[in-house]
């Protein structure tokens, strides 16, 4: 499909874009005309994503960023604006697998999932806000989860962090609509062969990968797992300026899992 250049002349900062949904989104946004800043701690894969964008004729840069340090998030935003002169899209996509059952969750594991999901989303939006205003408006997007819409028995900390992101999106959508800033979230279902999926399996050794995947297929009307490119297309839909009447939305992209 030929690009429609939906993000022509725009600048997008994407967290967690070295792999998975973030990488697919960075590639797609670049094809649609955006200049991309990748904020991640995974240098090798982030640089590979940058190189792949540049091979296709796009512009991208890597900004090393530990999202658990709010000062580094501010630096990533500032570096993006220094390089490209503006910011139009802040897409907080980075995520980690949930730590497991309540009784097995340590304080350090809880802090990690909250810091990377909710705290980084909050402060990333805070630091992006003045630049989005200066650009005349823009878009903030969060990668939440289907497990932010409904509870997870296996990982209450993960569910709570993603539900927090959804409420943050709604609160910011209300607060900043007059600035021309739209705030939305995508809620992916299980995505095959991503680092996050592998992290779920690694942190839950009692789960058998094939049976867990099959269970996730069977509980949704579209009986398969999703892929990063499908999530990227949903993300593009929400950040594209053409969809300027959409804000405060939590969009399930889960094969109908939210209904099951």
How high is the pLDDT of residue 231? Answer: 98
Residue 129 has pLDDT above 60, yes or no: yes
For the chain, the straight-line distance linking the first and the last C-alpha, in angstroms and rounded, comes to 32
Token reading at 212: 């867990």
Mark whether 110 is an active-site residue: no
What contacts 167, CB < 8 A, 6 or more positions away?
Answer: none
Residue 217 has pLDDT above 70, yes or no: no
Other CB atoms within a 10 A radius of the CB of residue 70 amount to: 17
Name the band, by pLDDT with cuts 50, 70 and 90, for residue 190: confident
Among the listed residues 110, 158, 212, 245, the single catalytic one is: 158
Mean pLDDT within 116-124: 99
How high is the pLDDT of residue 120? Answer: 99
DSSP state, residue 119: I
Cβ contact 33:11 at 8 Å: no
- Range in 75-84, 211-220, 224-233 the model is least confident about: 211-220
Residue 57 has pLDDT above 80, yes or no: yes
Residue 200 has pLDDT above 70, yes or no: no
- B/e letters for 33-60, b = 16+ CB within 10 Å, e = fewer, are bbbbbbbbebeebbbebbeebeeeebbb
Distance between CA 40 and CA 76 in Å, rounded?
Answer: 10
* Averaged confidence pLDDT in the chain: 92
How high is the pLDDT of residue 111? Answer: 98
- Range in 5-14, 65-74, 128-137, 201-210 the model is least confident about: 201-210
Mean pLDDT within 207-222: 64
Which residue reads 């697998």 in tokens?
Answer: 97
Q: Which CATH number is associated with domain 11-253?
A: 3.40.50.720
CA separation (Å) from 119 to 67, 136, 139, 159? 9, 26, 18, 14
Cβ contact 80:54 at 8 Å: no
Name the band, by pLDDT with cuts 50, 70 and 90, for residue 205: low
Cβ contact 189:253 at 8 Å: yes
Tell me the pTM.
Answer: 0.93
Residue 246 has pLDDT above 90, yes or no: yes
Burial class from Cβ neighbours inside 10 Å (0-12, 13-18, 19+) for residue 80 reads: buried
Distance between CA 123 and CA 39 in Å, rounded?
Answer: 14
Residue 76 has pLDDT above 70, yes or no: yes
Name which of 145, 152, 27, 36 is nearest 96 in CA terms. 145
* Strands of the sheet with 138-143, listed across from one edge: 60-64, 35-40, 11-15, 89-92, 138-143, 181-188, 250-253
Query: Percentage of residues in the chain with pLDDT exceeding 70?
Result: 90
């Amino acid at each position: 499909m030929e690009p429609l250049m939906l993000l022509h002349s725009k600048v997008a900062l994407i967290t967690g874009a070295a792999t998975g949904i973030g990488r697919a989104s960075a590639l797609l946004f670049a094809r649609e005309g955006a200049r991309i800043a990748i904020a991640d701690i995974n240098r090798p894969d982030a640089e590979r994503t940058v190189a792949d964008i540049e091979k296709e004729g796009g512009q991208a840069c890597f900004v090393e960023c530990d999202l658990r340090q709010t000062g580094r998030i501010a630096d990533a935003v500032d570096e993006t604006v220094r390089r490209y002169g503006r910011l139009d899209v802040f897409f907080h996509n980075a995520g980690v697998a949930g730590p497991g059952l309540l009784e097995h969750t340590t304080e350090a594991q809880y802090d990690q999932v909250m810091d990377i999901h909710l705290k980084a989303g909050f402060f990333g939006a805070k630091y992006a806000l003045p630049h989005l205003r200066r650009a005349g408006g823009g878009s903030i997007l969060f990668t939440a989860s289907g497990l932010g819409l409904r509870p997870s028995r296996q990982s209450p900390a993960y569910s709570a962090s993603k539900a927090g992101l959804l409420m943050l999106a709604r609160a910011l959508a209300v607060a900043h609509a007059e600035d021309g800033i739209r705030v939305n979230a995508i809620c992916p279902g299980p995505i095959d062969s991503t680092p996050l999926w592998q992290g779920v399996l690694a942190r839950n050794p009692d789960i058998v990968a094939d049976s867990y995947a099959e269970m996730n297929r069977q509980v949704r009307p579209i009986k398969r797992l999703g892929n990063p490119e499908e999530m990227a297309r949903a993300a593009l839909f929400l950040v594209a300026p053409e969809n300027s009447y959409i804000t405060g939305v939590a969009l399930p992209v889960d094969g109908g899992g939210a209904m099951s």
